[in-house]
Structure formats: structure tokens, C-alpha cells
Amino acid sequence: MSSDTSSSGSARSRHQRQQRITDYVIDHGSAHVAELVEYTGVSHMTVHRDIDELARRGLLRKFRGGVSAQPSTVFESNAEYRLGAHVEAKAAIARQALGHIEPGMSILLDDSTTALALAKLLPEVAPLTVATNYLRTIEELKDTEDVRLICIGGDYSRTHDSFLGMPCLEAVERITVDIAFVSTSSMNAEMTFHQEPDIVMVKRAMLASAVTKVLLMDSSKMPRAALHRLAPVADYDRLIVDSGAPAHLVEELRSRTAVDVAAEPVRSRST
């Protein structure tokens, strides 16, 4: 069996390689097949199969001899891309966020994958009431004992795998929760942003429905801007970031809100 066959033989290794390709192309704007072959260490045929799959999923766009990133409004919102991006940072942020939840609370989770990472930890602090518009969070919690699950419906978005639109807004506006956990696509020291107006409206409604507002942001999103302003940093009661956040930015953010820097997960050593 060739080394190339072994490297692409499992679904896990294929997924990890495709995530690396996606991140590389997004960082560089475009890449040629030969460049990706060198970067991944697999064959031309394997890279071609990977980019065919990534193009089919709407993450990248093929051109003759290479591949380019889709516009930011596509790939930054694509649920499949977000699920595989910055997983360790999101897990660390979620673990830190769990410390702000007490049994008996009502919480609201948006359709971010960072909030999904938090949802997976919630059984540790149940009983809870949890409201969300994210289908994957609903699937995660639907059979969890001691969690009262409120499913916020609306117009289903395949791109986000969540419910949006006017019915969603109206449902959010009818509830009040102890704490809302939200994330967004970008922020700087003063403002949070998102590239899609429908998402901005839902997140604003969620913030307005919560007594305490917590922003969950991995360091890949800062400092950056996007088309639409969501809310000033000062409107959040707390910001939780991972240890990759620039130190000077963290200090500036602390002049506007409380900031937690999540510890990196401890990695077990291979024997």
C-alpha cells in the first residue's frame, strides 16, 4: 500500500486534509494544484478529488489548474466550513464559558459553531432551559435529560443549518433569558460585525432578550471587520477569547468589557 493511499484512507484524515486545503486557499485567495500537492504531501489525483469535493460543497471554486476561495459571504457562513475550523480554540472557549452557567438558568445559544461546542458541555451543569435556532444544537440536546429545549423556528437556511427570518425574530423577541451566548464573524477593539443582514438582525434580537450577554470569539476573527455592524463591544457583558488573541488587543478590549482568555486544552503525549 502506498503512503498516499494510507494518508487518504480514512474519513478522518481526508476531512482534516480538506480542512487544511480550505484554510490554505482562503488565506492565500487561490492556489494551484501543484502547490496543494506540495503543501499536503499527497498525490495530484488525491488533491483533485479533494478540490472536487470542496467545490461540490460550495466551499471553493475550481479553475483550470487550481482553485480559489469563494466570496467571504459564502465560505464564512457555510456551516460545513465553520464546523471544521479552529476546533481546539472553540473547545477551549466553550469550556471557559461553561463556568458562567449555573444549574437552573435559562440560556440562549445562537447558530455559531462555538455555541455548539458549549452545547455539548451543558449536561454537566443541568438542569437548564436552552433556546436555540441552530439545528445542530437542537440535535445535540434533544435527548438530554434535565434540559428543557426551546426550538426557535423560522425560515430554514441550508447555508447556516439554522432558522432565520421574521418568524425567528418574533420568537426570540417573545422570550427573556438569563444569559445569551453568541459569536460572529469578526470584531475589532470597538465593534462586532457580520457580513449578512439577516444574521445581524437575529443576533441583535438575541442580545436584547438576555439579561447577560456573552460574546464567544476565536482569535482568527480578530481584528477584522465585515460589511454590517452588529453591536459595540461595550454592549456585551463579557467576551471570551482563546489564547491566540493578540495581547495588545485583549488589553484594549478590557477597557470596554470583561474579557476571559481561555486556557489552551492539555494535549496528551503520544507514547
Domain that holds residue 226: 81-262
Maximum Cα–Cα distance across the chain: 60
The predicted structure's pLDDT at residue 84: 61
Q: Are strands 228-232 and 191-194 parallel, antiparallel or unpaired?
A: antiparallel
CA–CA separation, 158 and 82 (whole Å): 13
Domain closes at, from 70, 90, 113: 70
For the ranges 52-56, 91-95, 116-120, 140-144, the lowest mean pLDDT is seen at 52-56
CA–CA separation, 178 and 101 (whole Å): 9
CATH (domain of 49): 1.10.10.10
Q: pTM to 2 decimals?
A: 0.74
**Is residue 218 in some structural domain?**
yes
Q: Do 99 and 157 fall into the same domain?
A: yes
Domain closes at, from 44, 70, 96: 70
Q: Do 152 and 20 fall into the same domain?
A: no
Q: pLDDT tens digit string along 236-260?
A: 999 999 999 999 999 999 999 999 9
The predicted structure's pLDDT at residue 269: 40
CATH (domain of 100): 3.40.50.1360
How many percent of the chain have pLDDT more than 90? Answer: 62
Q: Do 41 and 122 fall into the same domain?
A: no
Q: State how many domains the chain has.
A: 2
Find the mean pLDDT for residues 209-219.
97
Domain closes at, from 70, 100, 122: 70
Q: Do 57 and 93 fall into the same domain?
A: no
Find the mean pLDDT for residues 140-152.
97
Q: Do 141 and 164 fall into the same domain?
A: yes
